[in-house]
Amino acid sequence: MANDKTFKLLGIFFLAILAFNFPILNLFGKEKAILGIPVLFAYIFLSWAVVIFFTARIVESKKKSKTQ
Amino acid sequence: MGAGIIIFISIAYVAFLFLIAYLAEKRGKQGRSLVNNSVIYALSLAVYCTAWTYYGSVGRAVTSGMGFLPIYIGPVIIAPLWWILLKKIIFISKSQRITSIADFISSRYGKSTWLGIIATLIAVFGIIPYISIQLKAISTSFDLLVTDHTPLYRHSEIPFYLDSALYIAIALAVFTILFGTRNLDPNERHEGLVAAIAFESVLKLIAFLTVGLFVTYWLYDGFADLFGKGMSTPGLSRLFSLEEAGINGWEWFWLSFLSMSAVMLLPRQFHVSVVENTNPNHVGKASWLFPLYLLLINIFVLPIAIAGIDQFPGGAYEPDSFVLSLPLSQGKDILALFVGLGGFSAATSMVIVAVIALSIMIGNNLVLPLVLRTQTFKGAQYSNMSNRLLGIRRISIVVVLLLAYGYFKAVGEQYSLVSVGLISFTAIAQFAPVVLGGIFWKRATKAGALCGMLAGFGVWAYTLPLPTMVETGVIPIHFMENGPFGIGWLKPYALFGLDGTSHISQAAFWSLLFNCGIYFFVSLYTSQSPLEISQADLFVDIYKYRKGSTDYDVMRRQAKVQDIRILLNRFLGEPRGNLLLNAYENNQRIDLSRQQVAGPDLINYAETHLAGAIGAASAKIIIGSITKEEPISLEEMFKVLEQTKEIIQYSKALEKKSAELERTTMQLKEANEQLKELDRLKANFITTVTHELRTPITSIKALSRIMQETSGLPEEQKQEFLAIVVSESERLTRLINQVLDLEKIQSNQEDWTLQPIDFAEVTSLAYSGLKQLMNDRQISHSLSIRAQPLIVLGHNDRLTQVVVNLISNAIKFCKVEEGVINIRLQKTGDTAVLEVEDNGKGIPVKDQKIIFEKFTQLNDEARGKPKGSGLGLFITHSIIQKHSGNIHVESGPENGATFIVELPLLEEAGGLAE
């Protein structure tokens, strides 16, 4: 089971833990806004989308390593 | 809006759900499953989003801004790992026919009945508050739609028979029974249910997005407008900063951790993601579609919360109902109805799946094992167990929903949706150590799991649900403020003095700390039963078993085929039971009707299928009632191990044998080479010998002919010729004698009876025999015998031959004039040493070895033709060997040669001679 896919997904998992926890989150915890959107709000939802995007890319990559 | 319309629409909606379920099941039976689809699978996982998400998130956002998010961040963080974690759990569950999270835990730890019971109790008590908030959400939204404003009464204050929440609970119970307990599926798969849940997930998402868009773009001018309003309103801007909203890192971490475990371990999540899974590969798509679903359903939460605060500054509506009250206050009744329907679908989907999952657990892991313990199932009174099973489930559904109603009426009302929901999350997180440990740590034991879960559950009960009882009067208020018996560090909300964090995070911390710690250490200090070991191996190394499709044969069991047939028919119904047995017969190509006794294979087959219907622990008990069950004892396991060891040894022996064979082959090869060499030498020898024979014969022939043909030959010459003929004939005879000798010595034909003889005497006799010859050749010679007698075990004639040979050799090779031969005989230790020294040309070092070898003859161009046959030394060597002695030569170039013979003396050589 230990193949590239597994390690990539583990990588995303750990990055997500970092990105979605303090102290990183607190960096964006100021009240400033960009284009009227609060920074924290924008940061969380953008990172969220990034996690989805990369998970999808890895999982849907034509399963070449899956059959190992 | 009239209550009648709302009830009618609700019932119509439920009817529609039934239609979907019916169509899905029909298609499933035709083999065109709707549900076997990764998108449907991902949507069914969205049963995670309940009324809590739908109504409660906004309520939470009003007080703590982004603080509602960890509940969804947790699943987003863990989702990438589903491909590893969830898939493994699915593989395990499918191979073990696991029907619930409690079944999973019980099965992992040796199919333990007690563990199943404990896990079921934790799940039931943990989930009841959660179900109660769904009841609360449905009834408040119902009240709101009917009355247009938050009702002035509280549910706890009106008699239960007038309470809409009770009727909602009853309706949900009926609904769930109809959905989930129509028949007993051995795999606990409900295709219709999954289809309906997926539809509800779509509906609630669309409804929530609709209200979000309505609020953001119809009431206001988009996100920027709303957020701008929020940030400019005093007191609201704090919502955009976590710290100002009262969320710290500790709190955030625990909330996301709890939701991480909840999204995988909540009974309903386990049910849809594992039990209802049709194809493990669907997990891949779900691991990004589900986070996407969560993103969509959460993006409008904060805008709606801000809009609610902005629209109802006086607090006319509860924040938990902003989703509904915003369209209502704008007079958008149809929209409000649609939104209400979305909330209804969110709540009902959760209740149905959660209650079905709980009822399966209660039936299989709680009631059945307790009932079964006392009974055997051969009796005729249990003619149809499957109906009884369904009955147990129906009763548990009603009981669970009534308990949830009771909790709602007693305590649920004064707490927000989210705070009650988190109590449930913390309870379910108690499964996380035993499940994670269970699939990655083989050493984890049943005792460890049992103690860990009980400790975690105990701390949970003490720190979370217990304090909520205070208002009901069960628990006195001073208990909370001063701790039990005035012990301050036992205060439930500040256990061990840990305060300054929210109740949830301190409860989660302490309960999981105790849970993990005790689980770990008890596991290390207890041992596993054989069944536990095998189950642990199967869970941890599931991929190994999938690849080799190794069947588990832990139990050496025997049962009557007839008993198995009866059991299957009782618990699964006759058609299903027959179908299974026929399938087995076809698969194994055997005829069961001809067999009396069923082997472990058939029993395992029956057990796994029964486990699908009634859980692993119950199936184990039932099968146990008809089998002569001998769980493998440690001794037997050792025996198996020993057998394995024997096999290993056997194979090692084989390896050794084959190495030996190889060696023998090598030896044979060498021998063959030697034989070939011998053959070659023999051929050489024959050539040499025939050559040697021909030379004298030629000269004899030539001389004889001369004498025959030449009549007038002077007498003198004739005499000379005759002398040559005689000498040549002697040479011929000698040669032939030597060849015969050699043959005799080599073939052992001679009578080698060895007798004690005096070697000194033999030597001096031989010496004196040759003295005349040496005198004739004017060779100065000497014999010195330094010890006498030198008794050796020997053959008199042969030893004489040795001495004669050596001296003759010396005579042949010593200098033609001034020849010197010295013979010395002495005793060195326990050997007699004979040295024969000449002063000839000597023997080069490279030849010193080969002169003794068989059939070799020194041919030296410089010395001309050798004077002998070349057999003398070889014969000597052979004779010495027969006497267990040895012979070698010492020589330097032009320095003469000394042949040294060593023979063991009799006293010491007694045993060596033949």
What pLDDT was estimated at residue B553?
44
Backbone phi, then psi, for B353, in 5-degree steps? Answer: -65, -45
> Model confidence over B517-543: pLDDT tens digits?
999 999 999 888 877 888 888 888 877
CB < 8 Å to B540, chain A: none
pLDDT band of residue B516 (cuts 50, 70, 90) is: very high
Return the ∠ at Cα B895 (arms to B893 and B897), rounded to 5°: 90
E strand residue ranges, B654-730: none
Contact between B295 and A45 using a beta-carbon 8 Å cutoff: yes
Contact B141, B324 (CB under 8 A): yes
pLDDT band of residue B278 (cuts 50, 70, 90) is: confident
Of residues B375 and B116, which shows the higher confidence score?
B116
CA–CA min distance A53, chain B (Å): 8
Considering chain B, what is the average pLDDT of its residues?
A: 80
Q: Where in chain B is the domain with CATH 1.20.1730.10?
A: 3-219+250-375+393-429
Contact B302, B69 (CB under 8 A): no
DSSP structural state of residue B889: E
Mutation for testing the A interface, residue in B38, B77, B263, B293 having most A CBs under 10 Å: B77
| A-proximal residues of B, 201-230, CB under 8 Å | 223-225, 227-228
Q: Which of B565-579, B613-627, B857-871 has the highest mean pLDDT?
A: B565-579
What pLDDT was estimated at residue B633?
54
pLDDT band of residue B207 (cuts 50, 70, 90) is: very high
Using a 10 angstrom Cβ sphere, with 0-12 exposed, 13-18 middle and 19 or more buried, the burial of residue B296 is: middle
Of residues B484 and B85, which shows the higher confidence score?
B85
In chain A, the percentage of residues whose pLDDT exceeds 90 is 10
Contact between B291 and A16 using a beta-carbon 8 Å cutoff: no
What pLDDT was estimated at residue A36?
74
Nearest Cα to Cα of residue B538 among B12, B98, B63, B42: B98
Residue A35 has pLDDT above 80, yes or no: no
Identity of the residue in A23, A30, A37 whose CB atom sits nearest the CB atom of B249:
A23
- The number of beta carbons lying within 10 Å of the beta carbon of residue B270 is 29
Number of A to B CB contacts under 8 A, please give it.
Answer: 108
CB < 8 Å to A18, chain B: none
Average pLDDT of B470-489? 68
Least confident of B177-186, B391-400, B677-686, B825-834: B177-186
CA distance B253 to B429: 14
Q: Which are the contacts of B376, defined by CB distance < 8 A and separation ≥ 6?
A: B625, B626
CA B456 to each of CA B449, B452, B517, B616: distance values in angstroms, whole numbers, following the listed order: 11, 6, 10, 24
Contact B420, B91 (CB under 8 A): no
Considering chain A, what is the average pLDDT of its residues?
A: 79
pLDDT band of residue B219 (cuts 50, 70, 90) is: confident
Backbone phi, then psi, for B888, in 5-degree steps? Answer: -150, 175
Average pLDDT of B58-71? 85
Q: How many residues does chain A have?
A: 68
Measured between CA atoms, the residue of chain B closest to residue A22 is B249
Q: Which CATH architecture has domain B636-743?
A: Orthogonal Bundle (1.10)
**Token digits for B317?**
């509506």
What value does the CA radius of gyration of chain B take, rounded to a whole number of Å? 53
CB < 8 Å to B245, chain A: none
pLDDT band of residue B201 (cuts 50, 70, 90) is: very high
CA distance B696 to B724: 9
Identity of the residue in A13, A21, A52 whose CB atom sits nearest the CB atom of B249:
A21
What pLDDT was estimated at residue A68?
36
B243 touches chain A (CB under 8 A): yes
Contact between A55 and B79 using a beta-carbon 8 Å cutoff: yes
Contact between B66 and A44 using a beta-carbon 8 Å cutoff: yes
pLDDT band of residue B454 (cuts 50, 70, 90) is: very high
| CATH of the structural domain B3-219+250-375+393-429, one choice from 3.30.70.790, 3.40.190.10, 1.10.3720.10, 1.20.1730.10 | 1.20.1730.10
State whether residue B360 is helix, strand or coil. helix
Average pLDDT of B235-243? 75
CA distance B475 to A31: 43
Mutation for testing the B interface, residue in A8, A12, A13 having most B CBs under 10 Å: A13
Residue B860 has pLDDT above 80, yes or no: no
What pLDDT was estimated at residue B38?
86
Contact between A10 and B84 using a beta-carbon 8 Å cutoff: yes
CA distance B640 to B637: 5
Q: Which residue has the tokens 């979605």?
A: A20
Contact B776, B850 (CB under 8 A): no
CB < 8 Å to B243, chain A: 26, 29
Contact between A40 and B77 using a beta-carbon 8 Å cutoff: no
CA distance B539 to B529: 15
**Token digits for B250?**
């500790």
Nearest Cα to Cα of residue B627 among B619, B639, B638, B615: B619
Contact between A45 and B302 using a beta-carbon 8 Å cutoff: no
Contact B882, B752 (CB under 8 A): yes
Contact between B249 and A37 using a beta-carbon 8 Å cutoff: no
Average pLDDT of B480-486? 68
Cis peptide before B789 (omega within 30 of 0): yes
Chain A contact residues (CB < 8 Å to B): 1, 5-6, 9-10, 12-13, 16-17, 20-23, 25-26, 29-31, 33, 35-38, 40-41, 44-45, 48-49, 51-53, 55-56, 58-60
Least confident of B326-335, B390-399, B410-419: B410-419
Contact between B288 and A52 using a beta-carbon 8 Å cutoff: yes
In chain B, the percentage of residues whose pLDDT exceeds 70 is 85
Residue B668 has pLDDT above 90, yes or no: yes
CB < 8 Å to A13, chain B: 77-78, 80-81
CA distance B559 to B557: 7
CATH number 3.10.310.30 given to B751-909: no
Least confident of B256-260, B395-399, B432-436, B688-692: B688-692
Q: Where in chain B is the domain with CATH 1.10.287.130?
A: 636-743
What pLDDT was estimated at residue B631?
52
CB < 8 Å to A68, chain B: none
Domain boundaries, chain A: 4-60
CB < 8 Å to A27, chain B: none
Nearest Cα to Cα of residue B44 among B293, B259, B284: B293
CA distance B857 to B868: 9
What pLDDT was estimated at residue B292?
93
What pLDDT was estimated at residue B466?
80
Residue A1 has pLDDT above 50, yes or no: no
B301 touches chain A (CB under 8 A): no
Q: How many CA atoms lie within 13 A of B632 on its CB side?
A: 21
CA–CA min distance A29, chain B (Å): 5
- The number of beta carbons lying within 10 Å of the beta carbon of residue B12 is 11
What pLDDT was estimated at residue B862?
46
What pLDDT was estimated at residue B323?
86
Contact between A1 and B225 using a beta-carbon 8 Å cutoff: no
CA distance B48 to B349: 9
State whether residue B413 is helix, strand or coil. helix
Average pLDDT of B283-287? 89
What pLDDT was estimated at residue B188?
63
CA–CA min distance B512, chain A (Å): 19
CA distance B649 to B654: 8
Question: Looking at this predicted complex, what is its ipTM?
Answer: 0.91
Identity of the residue in B231, B287, B295 whose CB atom sits nearest the CB atom of A55:
B287
Contact between A36 and B225 using a beta-carbon 8 Å cutoff: yes
Average pLDDT of B653-674? 90
- For residue B258, how far is the Cα from the chain centroid? 30
Helix spans in B151-190 (H): 164-180
CB < 8 Å to B73, chain A: 20, 44, 48
Q: Which helix (H) or strand (E) holds B506?
A: helix B503-525
In chain B, the percentage of residues whose pLDDT exceeds 90 is 11
What value does the CA radius of gyration of chain A take, rounded to a whole number of Å? 16
Average pLDDT of B311-340? 82
Measured between CA atoms, the residue of chain B closest to residue A5 is B83
